[in-house]
């Protein structure tokens, strides 16, 4: 049964399609595992067992009647608790919405439902997805799948832990500054932030200035491709999705090759410390790509990649506009860390916001210029492995033996830029440190070139099977 839990969605779908595995059996086993591991991991805020089993019975009946919908039919998945699910409690990680039940599915959820996938639960997130640590006054800390002493990352920590621990093969996450890629890296799974507009974002309140994404998260690249195929495509809720239309990602199932591919790489932005284990893993990955025929060229990341002030101006202004009144009315419902983030935007002006958007445009043009003569950019996802479980967003943290301030700008300086630019970026497993904590590597592609990026991600995955493991029984 443990082998069943660690099968990919691709493998499970073949068993279901050929009627060797019942969607009901699979869903029941998934729910049992979720309930067994929840006390240790704390990665779910809601399990919807009865609804999931009903959906699994419907899927089984359809398949037995010859109405097979495709590779996600009967496959269980969990959705991050920021993503609306009709009739299923969605708290946004906050006490203020602890009993909230949406009336309508988010577009990504509706499309997975249409593909026959089975929603079995909602995964934990900090308050409104506001941290790189999955902690909330509503449910406490979500622990790393590989170490109970370490954080799961965030803000999609629950989604990453659920797939890493073999509870479900796939999940829906979100990414506003690295919130899919950060927990993917620290839990040893695959986290994609696709190009802006590929997956419609029906909950974005500023659809035109949006830098947040509803994303797949999974244990393998091909499972991410299956999810993206189901979730992608134009929709009237999102102007960027209508402009971009539906990319052809299905062809990414054909693994690409590094032979002759031009790779530009950088270990860290100027002046940033890097954990030695991350540096060693990064060099080993570059050697692997070079050995497979890639042409490697370094690039330097100077002040143009000092993105945290830009990201903070945009994001915190949005948060203050959305949640400022709620925090004033119900301060006891929110953590001091969340309140501090809301208050930090008090003095941002409209001109400050517009200057940040000008900087966002300059950064996009710089990234595309770097990619003009390269197939992808490659960086570490994070500059150290997982943080301690008790780490606070505003406290110093340790990296390369030094205590430093500024988690955002010093732990994940490589994730925020691509939320601002819209470029597709994927975090892949890249080995482990001496303590057994996962390390991630990030591939970045040109805007709209998700297919090409996924093909090289598949190629790297095929070259590094040793990076994929099973953290819990």
For the chain, the first-to-last Cα distance in angstroms comes to 10
As beta bridge partners, residue 143 has 151
Measured distance CA(80)–CA(82) in Å, rounded: 5
Counting other chains too, the contacts that 333-337 makes at CB distance below 8 Å and 24 or more residues apart are 333/94, 333/95, 333/96, 333/137, 334/94, 334/95, 334/96, 334/127, 334/137, 335/127, 335/135, 335/136, 335/137, 337/130, 337/131, 337/392, 337/393, 337/394
Catalytic residue chosen out of the listed positions 136, 151, 155, 195: 155
**80 labelled catalytic:** yes
Measured distance CA(186)–CA(181) in Å, rounded: 9
**335 labelled catalytic:** no
As beta bridge partners, residue 47 has 121
Catalytic residue chosen out of the listed positions 13, 80, 359, 409: 80
Measured distance CA(159)–CA(9) in Å, rounded: 15
Residue 129 contacts residue 176 (beta carbons within 8 Å): yes
**155 labelled catalytic:** yes
Longest dimension (CA), the chain: 62
Catalytic residue chosen out of the listed positions 130, 179, 277, 427: 179
Residue 406 contacts residue 308 (beta carbons within 8 Å): yes
Measured distance CA(251)–CA(261) in Å, rounded: 18
Q: Are strands 118-123 and 76-80 parallel, antiparallel or unpaired?
A: parallel
As beta bridge partners, residue 397 has 404
Burial of 248 (0-12, 13-18, 19+ CB in 10 A): exposed
Q: Helical H runs in 297-423?
A: 308-329, 336-343, 350-370, 407-411, 416-421
Tokens of 130: 């506001």
55-72 CB burial, b ≥16 within 10 A, e <16: bbeebbebbeeeebeebb
Backbone angles phi, psi at 346, to 5 degrees: -60, -35
The residues assigned a catalytic role are 80, 155, 179
């Amino acid at each position: 049964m443990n082998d069943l839990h660690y099968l990919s969605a691709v493998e499970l779908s073949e068993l279901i399609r050929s009627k060797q595995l019942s969607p009901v059996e699979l869903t029941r086993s998934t729910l049992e595992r979720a309930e067994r591991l929840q006390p240790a991991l704390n990665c779910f805020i809601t399990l919807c067992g009865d609804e999931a089993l009903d959906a699994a019975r419907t899927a089984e009946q359809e398949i037995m009647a010859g109405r097979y919908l495709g590779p996600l039919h009967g496959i269980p998945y969990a959705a991050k608790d920021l993503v609306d699910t009709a009739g299923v409690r969605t708290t946004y990680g906050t006490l203020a919405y602890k009993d909230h039940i949406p009336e309508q599915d988010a577009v990504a959820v509706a499309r997975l439902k249409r593909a026959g996938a089975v929603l079995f639960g909602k995964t934990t997130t900090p308050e409104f997805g506001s941290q790189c640590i999955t902690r909330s006054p509503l449910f406490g800390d979500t622990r790393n799948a590989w170490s109970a002493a370490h954080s799961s990352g965030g803000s999609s920590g629950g989604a990453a832990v659920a797939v890493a621990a073999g509870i479900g093969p796939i999940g829906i996450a979100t990414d506003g500054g690295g919130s899919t890629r950060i927990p993917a890296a620290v839990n040893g799974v695959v986290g994609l932030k696709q190009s802006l507009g590929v997956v419609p974002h029906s909950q974005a309140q500023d659809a035109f200035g949006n830098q947040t994404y509803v994303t797949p998260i999974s244990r393998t690249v091909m499972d991410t491709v299956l999810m993206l195929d189901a979730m992608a495509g134009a929709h009237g809720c999102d102007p960027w999705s209508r402009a971009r239309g539906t990319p052809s990602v299905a062809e990414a199932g054909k693994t690409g090759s590094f032979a002759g591919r031009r790779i530009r790489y950088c270990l860290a932005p100027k002046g940033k410390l890097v954990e030695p284990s991350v540096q060693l893993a990064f060099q080993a990955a570059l050697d692997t790509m070079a050995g497979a025929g890639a042409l490697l060229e370094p690039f330097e990341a100077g002040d143009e990649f000092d993105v945290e002030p830009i990201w903070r101006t945009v994001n915190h202004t949005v948060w203050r506009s959305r949640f400022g009144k709620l925090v004033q009315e119900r301060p006891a419902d929110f953590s001091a860390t969340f309140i501090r983030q809301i208050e930090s935007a008090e003095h941002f002006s409209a001109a400050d916001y517009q200057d940040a958007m000008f900087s966002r445009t300059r950064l996009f043009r710089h990234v595309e210029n770097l990619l003009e003569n390269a197939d992808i950019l490659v960086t570490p996802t994070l500059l150290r492995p997982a943080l301690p479980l008790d780490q606070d967003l505003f406290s110093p943290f340790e990296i390369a033996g030094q205590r430093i301030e500024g988690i955002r700008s010093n732990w994940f300086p490589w994730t925020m830029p691509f939320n601002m630019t819209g470029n597709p970026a994927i975090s892949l497993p890249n080995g482990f440190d001496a303590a057994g904590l996962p390390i991630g590597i990030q591939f970045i592609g040109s805007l709209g070139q998700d297919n090409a990026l996924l093909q090289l991600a598949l190629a790297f995955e095929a070259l590094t099977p040793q990076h994929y493991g099973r953290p819990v029984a």
